[in-house]
Amino acid sequence: MVFSLGQDKILSRLFAANLILVALDLLTVFFKRGSLPEKVPLFYSRPWGQEQLAAKDFLFLIPLFSFLILLLNYYLALILLKKKEKFLAILGGSFALLFSVLGAITLWKIIFLVS
């Protein structure tokens, strides 16, 4: 039997919300890119100053990583659903959505800080 996330309401909603959030992130970076300075603060774990700055094109990394986590989660959820582990699939989907939400908050804070 072939499984898909569309068979489960919760997983399909988590997947859709995650995809919408990634798309919003990409659109935000794409449309705000013209008003951003050449260097933006991205690496907050580094010491304060020039070391935190990165080219504005690096902002595309945040939605890219969110999308990669989403794809990985989709694949793992399909495997888990075949093994009838619905709870773990939902937990993974929730993690992916949390990752995307935190990435979106970070991205929006960076963009609205410098623009």
**What's the mean pLDDT in 52-71?**
90
**pLDDT tens digits for range 20-47:** 999 999 999 899 888 888 888 878 778 8
**What's the mean pLDDT in 79-104?**
90
Distance between CA 70 and CA 115 in Å, rounded? 29
Predicted pLDDT at 95: 93
Distance between CA 50 and CA 41 in Å, rounded? 9
Number of domains comprising the chain = 1
Distance between CA 32 and CA 75 in Å, rounded? 32
Q: Is residue 86 predicted with pLDDT exceeding 90?
A: no
Question: Which residue range(s) make up the domain with 35?
Answer: 5-114
Burial classification of residue 60, based on how many CB atoms lie within 10 Å of its CB (0-12 exposed, 13-18 middle, 19 or more buried): middle
pLDDT tier, 1 (very low <50, low <70, confident <90, very high otherwise): very low
Tokens 């609205």 sit at which residue? 112
Rg (CA), the chain: 17
**What's the mean pLDDT in 67-82?**
90
Question: How confident is the prediction for the chain on average, in pLDDT?
Answer: 86
